[in-house]
């Protein structure tokens, strides 16, 4: 049973690892990228970014199945994973795709060739059925220049767009037709950004032509063909994917330590919108950092007398624990630190050491 917080599903490492193991036979995407995709699904659900999940370039379906398995795990019925592919393999690469693309297309006996990434729709649908995922997926068969122009009208908002279509022309087509459907706060992932030159050129060209300021972030794994770089992602938001991921993990840290429904104070300087009551608060709103140790201690004791049971300090406010050294000493003397990670410290205000 998935943990929930304020009615939203909270998926974590255990659920993601189980789903990755399940879809492993159906994907050529390395484990680290699949795990990252799992965190992307988890964070989007927890942050309630609106929209569906779209993968362009699905081969046997593995990465799409991962997203669908996590939707099933979380009990989410109002989002669907859209699987877009020719289901006939890759079109030929062009010069702009670079030497590694040319080598890929020429070396047909290489284990990487995989029959030109061909997997038939019937086989992929059968696999989805075998995994019990059919009610979470929709198939869109055909070449992208035919199928993608009409897709936003069918899908609506997109929370995660995963582009795994190798070549320049395919990646550009995906961006041209689907970028605008990506919701604010949503994620766009490029599986081949490091693998093939054409993919990187398509991404940069599109962002430059539209004057979009999205920052590309790398997905890094252990030793792989591109020295560990496995994919790139940008978030359609001034705030990065890394921040979104850490925020989600901080929520998991808190949820593991604090019983559901308990009264929780949160010190995050309003940078993370963590669930809980802001501390210190004035009429329910964050009042800004306290003037000094005495003001912080007074606010804490007032909140404790008012029924607050837990206090979580998140990393944007870690400096408090040094700057307000008197407050930190008081907190440690009158509460028990029940969780401490590089993201969050949680104190139980009910029990003194």
Stretch that binds ligand SAM, among 86-94, 124-132, 181-189, 236-244 (CB under 6 A): 86-94
Asked if 74 touches ligand SAM (CB under 6 A), the answer is no
Considering only residues 12, 57, 98, 276, which one is a binding residue for ligand SAM as defined by CB under 6 A? 57
**Number of residues lying near ligand SAM (CB under 6 A):** 20
Residue that the structure tokens 């949503």 belong to: 186
Stretch that binds ligand SAM, among 159-167, 258-266, 276-284, 344-352 (CB under 6 A): 159-167
Q: Which is nearer to ligand SAM, 143 or 323 (CB)?
A: 143
Q: Shortest Cβ contact with ligand SAM: which residue?
A: 57
The site string for ligand SAM over 20-49 (x = CB under 6 A, - otherwise) reads -------xxx--------------------
User: Rounded CA gap, 104 and 28, in Å?
Assistant: 15
Answer yes or no: are the C-beta atoms of 171 and 199 closer than 8 Å: yes
Q: Which is nearer to ligand SAM, 170 or 249 (CB)?
A: 170
| Sign of the four-CA dihedral 180, 181, 185, 186 | negative
Q: Give, as ranges, the residues between 275 and 304 that touch ligand SAM (CB under 6 A).
A: none
Asked if 190 touches ligand SAM (CB under 6 A), the answer is no
Q: Which of 173, 165, 148 is nearest to 63 (CA)?
A: 165
DSSP string, 296-309: HHHHHHHHHHTT--
Considering only residues 89, 221, 228, 289, which one is a binding residue for ligand SAM as defined by CB under 6 A? 89
Q: What is the bridge-based pairing of β-strands 158-163 and 182-190?
A: parallel
Answer yes or no: are the C-beta atoms of 171 and 198 closer than 8 Å: yes
Q: Which is nearer to ligand SAM, 29 or 46 (CB)?
A: 29
DSSP character for 138? E
Q: Which is nearer to ligand SAM, 162 or 247 (CB)?
A: 162
Minimum CB separation of residue 6 from ligand SAM in Å reads 32
Considering only residues 40, 80, 86, 249, which one is a binding residue for ligand SAM as defined by CB under 6 A? 86
Asked if 347 touches ligand SAM (CB under 6 A), the answer is no
Asked if 249 touches ligand SAM (CB under 6 A), the answer is no
The site string for ligand SAM over 92-121 (x = CB under 6 A, - otherwise) reads -------------------------x----
Could you tell me how many helices (H) and strands (E) the chain has, helices first? 14, 16
Considering only residues 35, 74, 90, 183, which one is a binding residue for ligand SAM as defined by CB under 6 A? 90
Stretch that binds ligand SAM, among 89-97, 209-217, 234-242, 345-353 (CB under 6 A): 89-97
Hey, which bits of 63-195 come out as E strands?
Answer: 81-85, 137-141, 158-163, 182-190
Residue 222: which residues within 8 A CB-CB, separation 6 or more?
32, 228
Phi-psi category of residue 99: left, alpha or beta, with phi > 0 → left and psi -120 to 50 → alpha: alpha
User: Rounded CA gap, 176 and 316, in Å?
Assistant: 37
Phi, psi of 215 (to 5 degrees): -90, 130
Phi-psi category of residue 207: left, alpha or beta, with phi > 0 → left and psi -120 to 50 → alpha: alpha
Q: Which is nearer to ligand SAM, 144 or 324 (CB)?
A: 144
Q: Give, as ranges, the residues between 160 and 189 that touch ligand SAM (CB under 6 A).
A: 164-166, 170
Residues that bind ligand SAM (CB under 6 A): 27-29, 57-59, 62-63, 85-86, 89-91, 117, 143-144, 164-166, 170
């Amino acid at each position: 049973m998935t943990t929930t917080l304020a009615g939203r599903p909270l998926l974590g490492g255990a659920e993601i690892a189980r789903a990755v193991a399940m879809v492993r036979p159906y994907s050529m995407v390395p484990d680290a990228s699949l795990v990252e995709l799992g965190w992307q699904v988890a964070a989007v659900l927890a942050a309630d970014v609106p929209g569906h999940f779209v993968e362009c370039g699905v081969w046997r379906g593995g990465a799409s199945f991962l997203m669908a398995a996590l939707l099933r795990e979380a009990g989410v019925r109002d989002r669907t994973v859209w699987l877009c592919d020719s289901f006939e393999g890759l079109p030929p690469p062009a010069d702009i795709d670079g030497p590694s693309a040319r080598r890929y297309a020429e070396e047909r006996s290489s284990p990487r060739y995989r029959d030109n990434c061909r997997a038939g729709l019937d086989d992929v649908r059968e696999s989805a059925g075998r995994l019990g995922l059919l009610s979470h997926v929709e198939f869109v068969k055909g070449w992208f220049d035919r199928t993608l122009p009409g897709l936003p009208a069918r899908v609506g908002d997109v929370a995660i767009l995963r582009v795994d279509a190798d070549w320049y022309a395919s990646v550009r087509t995906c961006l041209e037709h689907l970028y605008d459907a990506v919701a604010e706060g949503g994620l766009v992932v490029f599986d081949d950004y490091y693998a093939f030159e054409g993919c990187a050129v398509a991404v940069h060209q599109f962002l430059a032509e539209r004057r979009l300021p999205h920052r590309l972030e790398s997905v890094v794994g252990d030793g792989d063909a591109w020295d560990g770089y496995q994919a790139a992602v940008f978030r359609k938001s001034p705030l990065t994917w890394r921040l979104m991921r850490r925020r989600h993990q901080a929520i998991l840290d808190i949820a593991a330590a604090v019983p559901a429904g308990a009264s929780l104070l949160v010190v995050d300087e309003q940078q993370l919108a963590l669930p809980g009551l802001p501390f210190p608060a004035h009429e329910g709103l964050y009042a800004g950092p306290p003037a000094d140790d005495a003001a912080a201690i007074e606010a804490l004791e007032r909140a404790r007398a008012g029924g607050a049971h837990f206090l979580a300090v998140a990393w944007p406010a870690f400096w408090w624990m040094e700057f307000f050294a008197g407050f930190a000493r008081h907190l440690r003397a009158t509460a028990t630190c029940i969780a401490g990670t590089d993201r969050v410290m949680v104190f139980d205000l009910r029990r003194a050491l």
